Structures are given as C-alpha cells and as structure tokens.
Amino acid sequence: MHYNESAENYLETILMLSKKLPVVRAVDIANELGYKKSSVSIAMKHLREKEHITVTDSGFISLTESGLAVAEMIFERHEMLTKVLVAIGVPEEIASEDACKIEHVISPESFEAIKASLAKHHNDFLK
C-alpha cells in the first residue's frame, strides 16, 4: 500500500524519536522536523484517523502496528539508500537528503531488487 510522503516522513520520525526518547510528543516531532506545532497537530489528527498512531490523554504518541510497519519500511529504505550513495562517493549529508527523497518514490520491486543484489554481492550493506 502506498502512503503519501508527508505521512511516511511523520511515521519515520516518530519511530526514530521513540528510539531515543522515553515518550514522543507533537512538540518533539515539530522540533525534529522544524515544523510548527500546529502543522504537526493536524498531521497527527490524520494519522490517528488512519489508525497509524495512538495519542494518550497526556499527548504521548505511539505507532500502531500499521504505523510501525510503514515507519520501519521507510527507515530501512532510508538507511540502505544512504549507505549505497555514500559507498559510491556521495557526501553523507547529501546522501541522506537524497535517500529521503528516493525512499518515497522507489517501487517495492526495485527496492527489493537492490536489497537482493546487495545481499548477494555486498552483504556488509545489510548490517
């Protein structure tokens, strides 16, 4: 299933923040992405409606099973594409920015083919 780039970015950000913070709040997401809290609040409402996140009465945001699946897929793409671009000589900051763009438009088939090729020829990329 395809999600829009904005939703994917928010879900990936929630995943990344949940790995380094005890709880994730809208303000944390706004700070991480450099967005206004009001914009993040609207996005969180949409993600709640699609049942990709839950929000407690205290404002703590958690990924649901479906939200986690999307976030992990996007995060895996980002990490692997960044590594590939760095390996071919792209500076890390540019590689990460480009990977962020590519991760949303690459087809599952193309990504799986890249992953399979790397597994066969360059297993160190999968670590």
Q: What is the CATH number of the domain that holds 74?
A: 1.10.60.10
Single out the residue in 21, 37, 69 at which a domain terminates.
69
Q: Same domain, yes or no, for 89 and 59?
A: no
62 and 97 inside one domain: no
Give the mean model confidence (pLDDT) for residues 35-51: 95
Work out how many domains the chain is built from and give that number.
2
| Exposure letters 50-64 (e unless 16+ CB within 10 A, then b) | eebbebeeeeebebb
Are 83 and 125 in contact, with CB atoms under 8 Å apart?
Answer: yes
Percent of the chain with pLDDT over 70: 94
Model pTM score:
0.86
Inter-residue contact 12 to 81 (CB < 8 Å): no
Residues 19 and 32 in one domain: yes
Residue 82's domain comprises 70-126
On whether both 9 and 62 belong to a single domain, the answer is yes
Q: Look at residue 18 and tell me whether its pLDDT is greater than 70.
A: yes
